Structure 1
Amino acid sequence: MFDPVRREPRALHHKTAPSYNAPMPPRPRSPAASPPKPTSPGERLGLRSDWDYALHLPLHYIDETRITPIADLREARSALVQARVTQSEVAGSSRRQLRVQVADASGTLELRFFHFYPNWSRQYAPGKLLRILGEPRAGLFGMEMVHPACRVAAPDAPLPERLTPVYPAGAGIGQAWLRKAIAAARARLDMREWLPAELLRRLHLPDMAGTLDLLHAPPPGTPLASLEDRSHPAWQRVKFDELLAQQLAQQQARAKRTGLRAWPLVRRAGPDRLETRLLAALPFALTPDQQACAAEIAADLAQDRPMHRLLQGDVGSGKTVVAALAAAQAVDAGFQCALMAPTDILATQHLRKLADWLQPLGVRVAWLSGAQTKRERDAALKLAASGEAQLVVGTHAVIQDKVRFTRLGLAIVDEQHRFGVAQRLSLRAKGMDRGGDEVREPHLLMMSATPIPRTLAMAVFGDLDVSTIAHLPPGRSPVRTRVFAADKRDAVVQRVRELVAAGRQVYWVCPLVEDVAPTVAAMPAQRESGAPARGRTPRRNEMLELRAAEATFAELQAVLGEDAAQVGLLHGRLAAARKAQVMADFAAGRLRLLVATTVIEVGVDVPAATLMVIEHAERFGLSQLHQLRGRVGRGTDAAECLLLFTPPLSAMARERLQALRDSADGFVLAQKDLELRGPGELLGQRQSGLQALRHADLQTDAALLESAREAALWLLRHDPEAARQHLHRWLGGRLDWLAA
């Protein structure tokens, strides 16, 4: 039969299916090949428990329950034929092939093999009766099959009574082994039905035992299309059960956290409260959305259980000021606050804003970054450990082993999806405090400028509380977005030149360009634009991206002539001090044109910038394009975003650019991005929730997800034993992903 990994037929071994003995000649092993890892085939597929095997479901099926007459064969439809060999020969000179002609009462069929053993011509000698499994196609002399699976058969050999499953498999893992292992595992299982009959009836779902019987061995006549597109009721049951297990796990995680303890950050009364003074000092009033989110966070912080809240909002919606109010509440209650951001530029932006707002009110702010000198770093570590620094802002350096806090009450993680689970846990661990015999955790606030579609939020962040800033503050100018092919690049350059001459500010973003010269050895150790940052050796892609940005930088300097000194260059390999200087010069208007890589994607706030040019826009994801566009239109002047692409565009790239041109709503674009890329890629390093989803699709199974969420809450209240058994069946011991 056909192996899903290899296109050639493989031998069949199944207790209800015949064995086809025409395997491909084995490929020679390289003498330098490394020895196989000491794991079973099942473990290589992630199959450990009997339930893992039982829930390893077929990709598709082959119907070996009936023999199809040759005259009834249809092109590209796999079929089983029983026929006698009438002729067999090895033909061809440069590319030899074995040609076997077979016939039944209805017609003739040619079999062709390009890879074969010499003795096959004797095995397929005239007069032999064969059972042949393959996909027919139209040949020069009629219908033919190329490399079908064949076996010599007896005229009265029985046929299987069920369709033959074809399972997902890895290299070196045969279908015969999988079928045998899965059948043995299913025979050992307790197939007791744990879900209430009323629930299954209401959702029109079959029982689990019947579901698995049908999916692993469908009877003839089962509609294969509904099995293979997963719309069959049996597949709906599997997907519902999977989503139910995931929702149960999230609810358990939420319940577990209610047993944890944190220090309540109680708000002081009176006009001298830090939050009140901060609001009075701000040059703007909070929007209703910001006020609502700040109130939700403040109420959580006052509790004696740790807050785990996600604050999401579109680009420029004002999440930072809400975070500043939360930090003020922590400081006012006598605790420290730590804010961690994924990049130096974003962390520096937070530092500048928070310091401008809080330092005049008497709050001591410290900065931690891997790019600091030893003296600067030691001083910051001392301030944090002594408690003198009430607010510590930084990058990943905040979670390093040497960092200590006296009394960390609140941890804030910005662009949380860019951090892994372990990194978020490390920040939480920095604040764990033992009061008597009780461990108390810091409150945790995560922020994201990439809005999460509702179904994704339910599936992945259902264990968190979510606050949403749904509307932008007043005064933000709309950004007109236009799309141009690369042959219009000169016109775009001329537009940039005119704006710079008129005193306007412009971003020009360069992605990785594949046709840049690939050598990196010739890269100078130090450029005129600044020394590269210390640390790890850059990846080749980063160096190519850097070379593309530098080439564009030089080109635009030449074009601008007298204004060349007003062109800046910003990329990830610059030293932190040089990055900060470039951004300060651009923010102050000393630079009019900033050529940059995607380091400016988040956190850069220059209200005077009115034009964003994104080169090779087809190489970016939709959310990333929206983030980059959000760097302009932050003031009152009209702003533009010009997307340059190199044709031809793929269908997905065309949809991305069209969606960005047609909408400025981050929530609409996030939903479109989910449809185009799927949840795994959209979430980046977020590692919880989706790991458990093997069968359900969040884009098509939203209704099942809603039902699973309701069922999870009901089971936990009314039948906790059924909930426990269901979780064990689906997740076993893999519940550690709930930790973050």
Structure 2
Amino acid sequence: MSEAAPPPKKSALAGRLAKLGVAREADLLLHLPLRYEDETTLTPIAALRSGDPQQVEGLVEHAEVVLRPRRQLVVRLRDDSGVLTLRFLNFYPAQLKQLVPGAQIRAFGEVRSGFWGEEMIHPRTQTVAEAKALPQALTPVYPSTAGLAQSALRKLVARAFERCALDDPLPAELRKALKLPAWERSLRYLHQPPPDAQLAALESRNHPAWRRIKFDELLAQQISLRRAYAERRSHRAYALPAKGQLISRFIEQLPFALTGAQRRAVDQIAEDLAQAHPMQRLLQGDVGSGKTIVAALAMLQAVENGYQAALMAPTEILAEQHYQKLRGWLAPLGLQVAWLAGSQKKREREAMRQLLISGEALMAVGTHALIEDSVLLERLGLAVVDEQHRFGVRQRLALREKVAGALPHMLMMSATPIPRTLAMSYMADLDVSVLDELPPGRTPIVTRLVSAARRDEVIARVRDACREGRQAYWVCPLIEESEALQLKTAEETYASLSSELAELKVGLVHGRLKPADKAAVMEAFVRNAVQVLVATTVIEVGVDVPNASLMVIEHAERFGLAQLHQLRGRVGRGAAASSCVLLYEQPLSENGRQRLKAIYESSDGFEIARRDLQLRGPGEFIGARQSGAQLLRYADPEFDADLVELAQQAANEMLARYPQQADQLLERWFGGRAELLKA
């Protein structure tokens, strides 16, 4: 075949295979085709259909290198029914030797109607020996990388079938109960489907053979996560029973009652903290559902028992918001909270460290500065990690490893609701509490879609809102390619709004501001000394200004659904009617249109998360956790929800009754790598 090239040297081959996720020979069996080509039949030249990939066989009647309009090899191929032109815009000396008049050739490619009649551009060709039979199976087309030809991959896969174990790790009784085909049969079918295979079912991954592969992948994931869950429960943690003194005093002083969902989450967490094994719980809830109060009550339970509690947040703005809230709530109880951030001056940082060392403060709030070696949290009973998907697995482990001899309990919080199917497949090693109701008094937010051509009208609306005593956010576009470009846009927007709204005080916050300057602007906005806050996405989470009732998001089509929902949640925190204006530029891409439609139609974070999953896949929800909870290669938690549930049930049975087969399954899919599942 003309695509054949000398196989790459072993080390080069290993490097190229590694790019495809193939580390061992057995991994080739799970490197499944993207699509298939039918080389099992020959089509007479006169019967070729334009636009379809087909295979012909004939005699080379003429071959010539022409120089105009560009250098190319033009070959005329004849069979008993007619003549077809083969055209090669790039060609090699080997092809010139192969495609000579008189040679019997098979060509496979897509037929197009050209100026001189039907032709194939760059077909795959091979010389036909007299007795050469046609293939008996469809030809697989694999995901590949530069320097690795399809022919080489096919040979490697064929060799892997000869040399690797193909035994079925799923017990026969379980497989029959689940109505799944055998493992080896499914694998061989996907790599070499018969000519009459249903291509649509194969390429849409609906075929029974595909269901078997996806089920095994989900089962391996569930087993690994259930084992991680059991392994964590085997460790010792400080038992922190609810004593009630501080917690009841704290609840009494709150100016509002806890929601039913908050009380339920508090009870679940309190029960976990009382155990002598480490809690690993995810607290998820929509924007404004009151996660911080639940975290504060959990932290108080640790403090009541004489242990430290730490809350870590990914950004300094968010961490400081938590600190200010906790300090305000806990000061009446006579409790001190230490604040640790990378921007602190040495003297302030040392003073906070001394509060922790002396035991005057049993609570600490901060950014990743909390996990630096110089910070002493030797009696850490509870670690709370906010926006947990933004932290790397290593960072979360580092906070946990502060304690010698016992592991702290861990509470992870996320304001990005995780769709149920995703939580079932990726969070099976966690206990999950859901805040699915908003506190009373939250004002519904009206969302409006406005073309950027009407920007002047939006500015007038901002002016009117601020004249009535309200405040507004103006969020600048997300420019992924360049932080510097995003900063420039923010500064330009700040300058133009300062000019157009001269009677109002306009402030600016962005990621490159010095923390002290950022804090000063935020503090001025909180007390209404600044009426309009121009910002980049640093205000996405944690900012709570009840008097702000208008959010304007410029170039809204550039933002992800979760981000739009988070930003919208910065308003509607007071009694005033609140609005979110999404300014968009024309023309909109189809994906951008779908995102704006979803955010306009729904204010339910769980529904938005479900639609975000459909648009973008699971990576954004799992975030840095993905190195621990493997991202699925073939199964789709939303599309294959029924298989997720079956895999969950089967995982428990495999671990209880068939531990050796469970090991075999993990080895097959993960190569024995636990990959930080402890995080």
Same fold (TM > 0.5): yes
CA distance in 2 between counterparts of 1:505 and 1:44 reads 51
SS, match of residue 686 in structure 1: helix
AA aligned to 1:685 is A
SS, match of residue 432 in structure 2: strand
CA contact (8 A) 2:389 2:621 kept: no
CA contact (8 A) 1:51 1:730 kept: no
Matches within 5 A, 1:655-670: 655-670=594-609
* 1:547 is aligned to 2:547: no
Matches within 5 A, 1:554-633: 554-563=495-504, 566-633=505-572
- TM-superposed deviation, 1:684: 2.6
Q: Which residue of 1 aligns with 2:215?
A: 240
Q: How many residues align?
A: 678
Q: TM-score, normalised by structure 1?
A: 0.89
SS, match of residue 729 in structure 1: helix
SS, match of residue 66 in structure 1: coil
AA aligned to 2:303 is V
Q: Which residue of 2 aligns with 1:155?
A: 130
SS, match of residue 687 in structure 1: helix
- CA separation of 1:233 and 1:12: change in aligned 2, threshold 3 A: farther
CA distance in 1 between counterparts of 2:12 and 2:324 reads 52
SS, match of residue 392 in structure 1: strand
Residue segments in structure 2 that go unaligned for 5+ positions in a row: none
AA aligned to 2:451 is A
* 1:477 is aligned to 2:438: no
CA contact (8 A) 2:225 2:629 kept: no
Bigger Cα displacement from structure 2, 575-584 vs 480-489: 575-584
CA distance in 2 between counterparts of 1:356 and 1:299 reads 27
AA aligned to 2:447 is T
AA aligned to 1:317 is S
Matches within 5 A, 1:52-131: 52-117=27-92, 123-131=98-106
- CA separation of 1:68 and 1:37: change in aligned 2, threshold 3 A: closer
CA contact (8 A) 2:270 2:301 kept: yes
Identity %: 55
- CA separation of 1:590 and 1:215: change in aligned 2, threshold 3 A: same
CA distance in 2 between counterparts of 1:173 and 1:91 reads 30
Q: 2:355 aligns with which of 376, 383, 400?
A: 383
Matches within 5 A, 1:336-485: 336-430=308-402, 432-433=403-404, 439-485=405-451
- TM-superposed deviation, 1:49: 2.5
- TM-superposed deviation, 1:248: 0.5
AA aligned to 1:108 is V
CA contact (8 A) 2:666 2:672 kept: no
Q: Which residue of 2 aligns with 1:510?
A: 476
CA distance in 2 between counterparts of 1:172 and 1:660 reads 44
SS, match of residue 677 in structure 2: helix
Q: Which residue of 2 aligns with 1:198?
A: 173
* 1:490 is aligned to 2:462: no
- TM-superposed deviation, 1:44: 3.5
Q: TM-score, normalised by structure 2?
A: 0.96
CA distance in 2 between counterparts of 1:223 and 1:59 reads 15
* 1:252 is aligned to 2:227: yes
CA contact (8 A) 1:315 1:666 kept: yes
SS, match of residue 737 in structure 1: coil
- TM-superposed deviation, 1:202: 3.0
Bigger Cα displacement from structure 2, 675-684 vs 645-654: 675-684
- CA separation of 1:737 and 1:385: change in aligned 2, threshold 3 A: same
AA aligned to 1:382 is Q
CA distance in 2 between counterparts of 1:702 and 1:95 reads 53
CA distance in 2 between counterparts of 1:70 and 1:647 reads 47
* 1:143 is aligned to 2:118: yes
CA contact (8 A) 1:570 1:579 kept: yes
Residues 468-503 of structure 1 show CA distances to partners (whole Å, capped at 9, x for unaligned) of 000101111100000011100011011111222222
- CA separation of 1:573 and 1:198: change in aligned 2, threshold 3 A: same
Bigger Cα displacement from structure 2, 214-223 vs 608-617: 214-223
- TM-superposed deviation, 1:689: 5.5
Residues 70-99 of structure 1 show CA distances to partners (whole Å, capped at 9, x for unaligned) of 122222322221101222233343412222
CA contact (8 A) 1:508 1:612 kept: yes
Q: Which residue of 2 aligns with 1:694?
A: 633
- CA separation of 1:618 and 1:349: change in aligned 2, threshold 3 A: same
Backbone CA RMSD of aligned residues: 2.0
Bigger Cα displacement from structure 2, 569-578 vs 686-695: 686-695
Bigger Cα displacement from structure 2, 122-131 vs 617-626: 122-131
CA contact (8 A) 2:628 2:674 kept: no
CA distance in 2 between counterparts of 1:201 and 1:461 reads 28
CA distance in 2 between counterparts of 1:302 and 1:362 reads 24
CA contact (8 A) 1:459 1:689 kept: no
SS, match of residue 446 in structure 2: strand
Residues 162-182 of structure 1 show CA distances to partners (whole Å, capped at 9, x for unaligned) of 222221111111222222222
AA aligned to 2:319 is A
- TM-superposed deviation, 1:119: 7.8
